[in-house]
Amino acid sequence: MTGEYSESGNRPALVVGLTGGIASGKTAVSDRFAALGAAVIDTDQLAREVVAPGTEGLAAVRERFGAAVIDARGELDRRALRERIFSDQAARRDLEAITHPRIRARVTQRLAEAEAPYAIVVVPLLVEAGWAESYDRILVVDAEPSKQRERLMARDHVDRAQADRALASQTQRERRLALADDVIVNDGTPDELDARVQTLHRQYLGMAGRAG
């Protein structure tokens, strides 16, 4: 795939979009790539930055959704906003129209600033947002639903029913895997995950060298 970021000037020679289902281990994988020297850009973090107090993004959210989604400290009340968009697809699209262009602009900026042979851009909702064509390769972190449920219950201190609802709200696993150029199956020990990441790291260094 040809990345849209190739026209933005200075950027790593290879840009990989990393995605996966909830509690599949995306952070565990991206942290390992960062430790090996890859530039890692987390769009969840950027999503918080673009609606931080004082930003035009937060002003646009307030204009569209009202003061009820702003808390007493002048910060975005994420729970109130989630309730507004949960069952309102038009509202969700309006929110995405505010946040997505700003997130993508920050990704472009961070890629231009990156000093690494390749970059990993972590996009949990890559499939849902339709961003697959933005990256040179797509890496999916995959795990069996039973493993995701177990991790989610431990991580978020929720019961099985709540975990299952969260899993059901995600894009179908098969749809993610169909878009993947590379897959890391995160179902083993930390040492096994280390080895799988290191194998891909060497592959990406080779690709970046040829592209550069």
Tell me how many helices (H) and strands (E) the chain has: 10, 5
| Residue that is written with structure tokens 């007493």 in the block | 72
Structure tokens at 89: 């697809």
Nearest alpha-carbon partner for 105 in 47, 172, 34, 180: 47
| Residue that is written with structure tokens 């690494």 in the block | 116
Look at the alpha carbons of 72, 74, 75, 76 in this order and tell me if their dihedral is positive or negative: positive
Structure tokens at 126: 């890559």
For the chain, first and last CA: distance in Å? 16
Binding site: what residues are annotated? 23-28
In the sheet that holds 137-142, the strands lie side by side as: 39-42, 118-122, 14-20, 137-142, 182-185
Q: Which amino acid is at 182?
A: D
Binding site for ATP: what residues are annotated? 23-28
